[in-house]
Amino acid sequence: MLHPLVAILVWLCLAGALCLNSEAQTSSKPTGTATPSSPQQGVKLANEGRCDQALVILRKSAAQIADKDLKRQVGFAGVRCAMSENRPDAAVEFLRFLNREFPHDPDVLFVAVHTYSDLSTWAAQELAATAPNSYQAHKLNAEALELQGKWDEAAKEYRLILQQNPRLPGIHFLLARLLLSKPDPSPTVAVDARRELLQEIEIDPANAGAEYILGELARQESQWSDAIAHFTRATKLDAAFGDAYLGLGVSLISTKQFSEAVSPLETAAKLEPRNPAAHYNLGMAYNRSGRKQDAEREFAIHRQMTQKDDTKPDSPSGTQPENFN
């Protein structure tokens, strides 16, 4: 039986979603005159399906071509032949060549997307065939089951990994995420997820994501001191974790520590400048700290991001921005 993720990707390929762009894979005669070792000859061989010979020529000649049209032909022919010959290293090499020579080109990007998808399928098949009982295979299987909404089956896969590797980092975190993602969570979901996250931190104290979710769970239950502690640790573990700074700032505002909330919220707004909640809460912290002009600026940014037509937007907490007067 195919690995679930492999089955999904293979089905997509059969449906046509993972096939290379037929327009990019031009079958026209190569530009210029073909000599035994010329790039034109390499493209000709590729178009004739003689990819083992074509790849040798195409790889040697790609970097020395001046003509743009021939470069495209060589790149696309190289990707096509590398994939047909099961040469993922060569396929990636030609993709890099195409992306370097033709940045932002729609045909190149299209081929890159589907080639990497095909490479993903190949790697999944290889993993399922060569190491079906490895924790990596079980993890991939669990991720595929999650994508299909088979939450309980995915949880079983994660727990099987833990039976085999009880100290493996990341698995308790994934279990907690799964529990919190289920559309029909049990009444004990918060307790169960917290238990998994605490076990994760015991195994991997540097897991900023686990600290952040623990902070969110505490914040939702108005356990402000715990929330502040978890969010603070998350920001120290990952200085670019914008949501953790936002959670910390919101928790400090909730405990009326307005001046202390300014710094993390400024960082959140800097890291996530398009997040309306960061600007709104920063405005709240500024306003309650006596910095009225700064507060007006942040509320104005929030309004610009959220208002529709002439409708006055609600804040993330369901209240209108504070009166400055």
- The pLDDT value recorded for residue 22 is 41
Alpha helix locations (H) across 135-241?
135-147, 151-164, 171-181, 189-203, 208-220, 224-237
Mark which of 130, 158, 174 sits at the end of a domain. Answer: 130
The answer to whether 41 touches 50, Cβ cutoff 8 Å, is no
End-to-end CA distance of the chain: 69
Q: Confirm whether 164 is domain-assigned.
A: yes
Q: Does residue 250 share a domain with residue 159?
A: yes
**What is the distance between the alpha carbons of residues 323 and 284, in angstroms, rounded to a whole number?**
10
pLDDT at residue 185 in the model: 87
Within the chain, residue ranges assigned H as helices are 4-15, 39-47, 51-61, 68-84, 88-101, 106-130, 135-147, 151-164, 171-181, 189-203, 208-220, 224-237, 242-254, 258-271, 276-288, 292-306
Tell me which residue range forms the domain holding 280.
135-306
Judge if 168 and 287 occupy the same domain: yes
Instruction: State residue 159's pLDDT score.
Output: 96
Q: Look at residue 314 and tell me if it is in a domain.
A: no
- For residues 316 and 111, what is the distance between their CA atoms, to the nearest angstrom? 41
Cα–Cα dist 196/171, whole Å: 9
Q: If DSSP codes are grouped into helix, strand and coil, which group holds residue 308?
A: strand
Report the pLDDT value the prediction gives residue 63, as an integer from 0 to 100.
79
267 phi and psi angles, rounded to 5 deg:
-65, -40
- CA-to-CA distance for 284 and 232, rounded, in angstroms? 20
Entry pTM: 0.73
Residue 185 lies in a domain: yes
User: What's the rounded Cα separation, in Å, for the pair 98 and 14?
Assistant: 26
User: How many Cβ atoms from other residues are within 10 Å of residue 72's Cβ?
Assistant: 21
Q: For residue 35, what are its two tokens?
A: 């000599």
pLDDT at 320: 39
Condensed to tens digits (0 to 9), the pLDDT of residues 71-110 reads 999 999 999 999 999 999 999 999 999 999 999 999 999 9
| pLDDT reported for residue 310 | 44
Q: What is the pLDDT of residue 61?
A: 86
Q: Which segments in the chain show pLDDT lower than 50?
A: 1-28, 309-325
123 and 245 fall within a common domain? no
Mark whether 160 and 101 lie in a shared domain.
no
Tell me what pLDDT residue 184 has. Answer: 86
Give the model confidence (pLDDT) of 133-145 as tens digits.
999 999 999 999 9
Asked if residue 201 lies in contact with residue 207, where contact means CB atoms within 8 angstroms, the answer is yes
